[in-house]
Structure formats: structure tokens, C-alpha cells
A and B are shown apart, each in its own frame.
Chain A
Amino acid sequence: MGKSKPSDVAIEGIPPVSEQEETKRIPERVLIGKVGLDGHDRGAKYVAHILRDAGYEVIYTGIRRTPKQIVETAIQEDVAVIGLSLLSGAHKRLLKQVMDLLKDRGAIDIVVVAGGSIPSSDIPVLKAMGIAEVFTPGVSSQSILEALASLLKARRQAA
């Protein structure tokens, strides 16, 4: 391969942003799903839909998944982001399990965001756990996209 190829300077599959803009846009991969026992998937499907339309590749895993299923799937699919919807009230416990499993598997570079009916008083607790962003009811699709774009930009720069 020639020295000037962008692929030669790629780190773990993602070339520097400057070169990415110059050559082509590589779609980012995102897992969207629900953990725990509530089955209200309208929000998760909505977010999957807006991400799809914004050019993301969305792996939709559906409802009632265990933290282990989510983490194993995220690793096999090599996603940059895990987005989890929770409306059951068990967000602290379940997201803690997800973060612990990611740590065990050496995959803490995967950005985790959460959404759903999460009381504002719990948000600092979740952020301290390593959840990058929490989206609560009423948030606009534009702000979800903007938040995700800046989290991914930071991730690419850290790689």
C-alpha cells in the first residue's frame, strides 16, 4: 500500500477527521435497544429512525434484553455508541451492570448514552458511572443528533 493512503494512518478503522472529510464519510455504527422488563419501545424506535435518517448504521436489538446481551452484541458489532432506553425505573441498577460488563470486556471506549423517564436527580449518578449523556422526555431530535455528533468527534480524537 502507498504511504499516502489514508488507510495507513488509520487507528482502529477510523481515519483522522480531516482526511475523512477529504475522502469519504464512513458511517458510524450505533446500537439502540432496551434493557430490563418494560416493553415500551416507541422511544427507542423513534431514536433509531432519526439516527438512520442522519446517516448512522443502527443495530436495533429490541426490548427486554439483559446487560450481557447488549454488551456482547455491541462488541461483535463493533459499535461506537450504545443507546439504551429505560422506562422501568431500574436505570441505575441496569446501566451500572452495562458499564461494569463493558469494563470487564475492555470496551470502555464505547460511548454509552441513555434515554427515557429518568428523574433529573439521578442524572449526576448515571454520569458518574460513565454514562455520557442522558436524554429525558421532550428532548428534540436535533439535540440528540448534536450531542451524539460531538461525543463521536471526541471519541475519534481520543483514538
Chain B
Amino acid sequence: MTNDTKDLVEQVRGGTSQRVRAAARLMSLIENFPERIPEFLVGAADWPEARMVIGLTGPPGCGKSVLADRLITALRTRSPDSCIGVIAVDPSSPFTGGAFLGDRLRMMRHAGDPNVFIRSAATRGHIGGLVLGVKAFIRVLGLAGCRTVLIETVGVGQNETEIVNVADFVVVAIAPGNGDAIQLLKCGLMEVGDIFVVNKADCDGAAQLYAQLLAVLRLNANGQKTGMPETCLVSALQRRGIEKLVDLFEKRAAGSEQVWQARRRQTMVDEVKAAVLEEARQRLSRVLGTGPIATQDLSRILRGEVTVTGFVDELIQKMTGSREDKKNYGQAG
């Protein structure tokens, strides 16, 4: 680790008045410099770790953030001394790079609670429903004293399932009004849940959706030996069913700490792989450049003068050739 990072780590560990600020800055380093993520994973070997990392996913508008807010309250009430960390992910614009991070808005009642650390993050082009470096985020929250970490993914479509490799278990939230029972048969989202929650029990169609969910899950369970995922009908808005859901969490956590920690270490390489691929992508796009020169260059593929694989070979060659002189990156081509 470089000195700037070490100082921040010591400030977080030492529990100084700057603890929260230092933790927040470490997270900024992680998201601004993904090539440094492995530093955090290696350097974190002796950091305290969260007991339970919960993944919360589901389609946009199904009530994930309100559910997260209620879960924070319930978890804080059960263990008043225990810190909770939340990572709330929303999408970056693929057009402007900007983002509107609105998950935290639902959790503002906890803003004055020193035992709740909430961090919003934008995907910044990362595909999968999370952010690059989320595992390093989790380690920083652990260092800051969080025993439970709750990760809220972006509102997912059908294929953003990265959460499976990050959380100890995954809660899939669905709500009435998002299509008929056929949606429940589709791949992706419906395959990742350890616990399924039908939210908005106060709305029309919730009981029907819950019945359909049970039917589909029973069908799935017949083909496998893993048994049925747990299910829960809740109304986050009216605070109904939340305690039962937290009971399900605790049941899973009991005696699982070591198994979970071992699994987190096994999946660490996924994070490193993502960081490697991101660095490769960034370097290649620097060689390719932008604007008319890149367009002209790429047009050679359209004219049949070079194949895609041949073009990439050329890029790699240019990249290794110009390693000595970084300033040539933008002019390549």
C-alpha cells in the first residue's frame, strides 16, 4: 500500500474523530482507481471483517431502498451496539457519465446515527448490477467496524447477477405490477435468490404474486436437491413482515461465519479478474483513441481491409510499442 492509503487505514482503524471521513476517502480511492483494488484486498488480510454480507436485488421500483431502510432499523434495534454498513448502487449514464444516486434518500432517517455508514455508488460503466471494487468497499466497512453489510444493487433487469459472488446470501425482492407469472420463469434474477421477498403487500396483486412465486419455486426445487429458498411477504411501507425477514437472516448467519469468510476469500479472485479486465479495456481504448482518427481506423474493418481479430492484434502491438511514451496513446492509429 502507498503511504496515502496507509495513513487513511490507520485513521479508520484507530477510531479517531476522522474515522468516518478516512473510510469514505478510502472508498473514493477504490472507485477512482480500480487498478489499486488488489492493494486493498491484499492489505486487508488482518482487518476486522463483517459477520454477514447481505445482497439485496430486484427490479427498479420494487422497493429495495425502503426495504433497506426498514432492515437497518430492525437490525439496529436487535443489536444496538452493532454497526451497519450499506452500499447502495445506482446506474451511471452511459451517455454523460453522470449519475443520480437516489437510494439513500429513503434511508435519511439514519443519517445522524453514528452506527450506520451508508455509501452510494454509481456503476461507472461496470456491468453486473454492482460497482467495480465492491469487495474492497466491504472490507473498508468491516475495518470501520461494521458487523453487517447490506448491498443494494441497481434496479436489475434479468441478467445482473454479480451479487451472487459478492454477498453471503441474496435477497431477491419483487413487487406486484411488474408483469405476469411468466416473468418468474425467466432466467437470471430468479435463479440468484436465497430468500425471495414479495414487497408491497399493501398493494393489489401481492397475494397473487406470492402464490405464483411459491408455485414457481416449488417447480424449481423438484429438479434440484438444494430445496426451496425461503420466502416472505412484506410491506416495507407499512413495516409489516420485516421482523420475520430479519429472523431468516439470523437463521442463516448462525454458525456460518467461518464458511462465509472462506467463501469470500475464494471469490476474491473474481474481483481481481474484473480489475484486470478493466485496466486492459482502458489501455486498449487509450490506444484506439477517440474522434475522427479512431473512426477512420475502425472503418478499415468495415471495408474488409482487416478483421476484428487482426485489428485487436494491431492495437496490442501499438500498446506494447508505446508503453515507454504514454503521451502517444491518444494519437495512436
Interface residues of A (CB under 8 A from B): 1, 4-5, 7-8, 10-14, 22-27, 29, 48-49, 51-62, 65-66, 68-70, 72-73, 75-78, 105-107
CB pair B32–A58 under 8 Å, yes or no, is no
Name the one of B108, B119, B122 contacting A62, with C-beta atoms under 8 angstroms. B108
Contacts A4-B326, A75-B21, A77-B24 given; does A11 touch B98 at CB 8 Å: no
B137 within 8 A of A: no
Per CB-CB distance, the 9 closest pairs between chain A and chain B, nearest first, are: A69-B111, A78-B24, A52-B98, A13-B28, A57-B99, A7-B33, A55-B97, A62-B105, A55-B98
CB pair A13–B32 under 8 Å, yes or no, is yes
CB pair B96–A76 under 8 Å, yes or no, is no
Q: Which residue of A lies closest to B324 (CB)?
A: A4
Name the one of A1, A26, A60, A77 contacting B32, with C-beta atoms under 8 angstroms. A26
With an 8 Å Cβ cutoff, the count of chain B residues facing the other chain is: 42
CB pair B96–A54 under 8 Å, yes or no, is yes
Cα A62 to Cα B111 with chains together (Å)? 12
Cα A123 to Cα B80 with chains together (Å)? 43
Question: Which residues on A sit within 8 Å (CB–CB) of B119?
Answer: 76-77
Name the one of A23, A24, A58 contacting B99, with C-beta atoms under 8 angstroms. A58
CB pair B98–A68 under 8 Å, yes or no, is no
Question: Which residues on B sit within 8 Å (CB–CB) of A48?
Answer: 100
Name the one of A14, A52, A69 contacting B108, with C-beta atoms under 8 angstroms. A69
Cα A107 to Cα B24 with chains together (Å)? 12
Q: Which residue of B lies closest to A79 (CB)?
A: B24
Q: Which residue of A lies closest to B97 (CB)?
A: A55
B220 within 8 A of A: no
Question: Which residues on B sit within 8 Å (CB–CB) of A57?
Answer: 92, 98-99, 101, 122
Cα A17 to Cα B208 with chains together (Å)? 56
Cα A54 to Cα B95 with chains together (Å)? 10
Cα A25 to Cα B286 with chains together (Å)? 13
Question: Which residues on A sit within 8 Å (CB–CB) of B286?
Answer: 23
Further contacts, 15 of them, CB under 8 A, given A53-B93, A77-B104: A13-B25, A14-B32, A24-B282, A53-B96, A55-B98, A57-B101, A60-B101, A72-B112, A73-B111, A75-B24, A76-B20, A76-B118, A76-B119, A77-B24, A106-B17
Name the one of B96, B100, B112, B120 contacting A77, with C-beta atoms under 8 angstroms. B120
Chain A to chain B contacts (Cβ below 8 Å), 13 pairs: A1-B39, A5-B35, A10-B4, A22-B326, A24-B282, A27-B97, A27-B124, A29-B28, A53-B96, A54-B96, A60-B100, A61-B108, A72-B112
Cα A70 to Cα B327 with chains together (Å)? 42
Count A-B contacts at CB 8 Å. Answer: 119
Q: Which residue of B lies closest to A106 (CB)?
A: B18
Question: Which residues on B sit within 8 Å (CB–CB) of A12?
Answer: 4, 25, 28
Cα A66 to Cα B109 with chains together (Å)? 10
Name the one of B21, B96, B97, B99 contacting A105, with C-beta atoms under 8 angstroms. B21
Question: Which residues on B sit within 8 Å (CB–CB) of A76?
Answer: 20, 24, 117-119
CB pair A52–B4 under 8 Å, yes or no, is no
B 31-43 to A, binary, CB cutoff 8 A, 1 in contact else 0: 0110110010000
B192 within 8 A of A: no
Question: Which residues on B sit within 8 Å (CB–CB) of A51?
Answer: 98
B248 within 8 A of A: no
CB pair B104–A59 under 8 Å, yes or no, is yes
Cα A14 to Cα B29 with chains together (Å)? 8
CB distance from B280 to the nearest CB of A (A): 14
B287 within 8 A of A: no
B2 within 8 A of A: yes
Cα A107 to Cα B33 with chains together (Å)? 23
Q: Which residue of B lies closest to A8 (CB)?
A: B2
B190 within 8 A of A: no
Question: Which residues on A sit within 8 Å (CB–CB) of B99?
Answer: 27, 52, 56-58
Cα A51 to Cα B96 with chains together (Å)? 10
B171 within 8 A of A: no
Cα A90 to Cα B117 with chains together (Å)? 29
CB distance from B39 to the nearest CB of A (A): 8
B205 within 8 A of A: no
Question: Which residues on B sit within 8 Å (CB–CB) of A10?
Answer: 4, 29, 32-33
Interface centre among A27, A57, A75 (most CB of B within 10 A): A57
CB distance from B240 to the nearest CB of A (A): 24
CB pair B112–A53 under 8 Å, yes or no, is no
Question: Which residues on A sit within 8 Å (CB–CB) of B92?
Answer: 27, 57
CB pair A58–B101 under 8 Å, yes or no, is yes
